[in-house]
Amino acid sequence: MVRLLAPPEWQPHAAAGTALLVFTDDVCDRGAASGRLKRFEAWSGRVQAALDSGTSSHPLLRAYLHSAQACGLPRRWMDTYLAGTRIDLDFPGFDDEADYQRYIETLTWPGVMVSTGLMPRLVADESFADSCRLIADGFQRIDFLTDFPEDLRSGRLTLPMADLDRHGVNRADLEAGRDTPGVRALIGATAGLARASLTAAQRMVDQVPDPYRPLARCLLGLYHHRLDRVVAMGAAVTRQPVREDPLVCLRLLARSRRPELPSQPSPMDDGAGTPARASSPLHR
């Protein structure tokens, strides 16, 4: 998507930020669980040393340092991301929405800034970062929903316990993949919050220069499509993976240069962030 839609001169910066995030995730996810913290601490120390000195022999770090300097991205985003990743290695779950929001603040939002934050903008850095915060919230809720079966198998329950209690759902219901009114309501409510954040984040399209808007529209459109699939599946997201429709993705890619189309909300959204009746996954 970046290769097709982003200006060529910015593509190396996008690759540098994304590659560093992917590599850091791999350090945390691969190998024996008993050694993950040790491996992460070693890698984190290397990143911190590179940030301190402004140089590194590691190609990914060297590329990121160059891009962060060229794009004016403050160091605090990487520092915060590393601190949040350390906490996530021993994921404690969420008691309530406030716990979830702290997760966004310390891990997801900084991660979005390490990549998307390298993009030039037409507004103050603070305003752009606030839009990226909305993106982080929407993307994370959707990722949690699409990764539900895998997370449950690994022992991670990624929805706040207060939300389960509100809908009369317990962990056993989710682990067993039960299709109950409470589970459907829980999934629908979570999807509604994600939709509201994505809709509000649409403002980011107007905050970047024209050449970057096709990429922003396509990225937001892709997550709207993923959310459409979640809503259509309902409680089934606890049992099977959510798969994108390749034809819809191709249409999004092709139409992303037409601002009047990809910027519109999904027809599965009632306009207030609440999923409407699912009629079709083709939302645009």
pLDDT tens per residue across span 13-28: 999 999 999 999 998 8
Examine residue 99 and state whether it is found in any structural domain, yes or no.
Answer: no
pLDDT tens per residue across span 114-131: 999 999 999 999 999 999
Structural domain count, the chain: 2
This prediction has a pTM of 0.86
Neighbouring residues of 165: CB distance < 8 A, sequence distance ≥ 6: none
Same domain, 132 and 81: no
Cβ–Cβ < 8 Å for 275, 231: yes
Same domain, 86 and 125: no
Alpha carbons within 13 angstroms on the beta-carbon side of residue 113 total: 27
Q: What is the mean pLDDT of the chain?
A: 89
Domain at 215, CATH number: 1.10.600.10
**How far is C-alpha 12 from the geometric centre of its chain's CA atoms?**
21
Examine residue 70 and state whether it is found in any structural domain, yes or no.
Answer: yes
Same domain, 85 and 125: no
Examine residue 247 and state whether it is found in any structural domain, yes or no.
Answer: yes
Domain that includes residue 253, residue range: 121-284
Examine residue 102 and state whether it is found in any structural domain, yes or no.
Answer: no
> Which stretches of the chain drop beneath a pLDDT of 50?
261-284
Kindly report the backbone phi and psi dihedral angles of residue 167, in degrees, each rounded to the nearest multiple of 5, phi listed first. Answer: -105, 10
SS3 2: helix
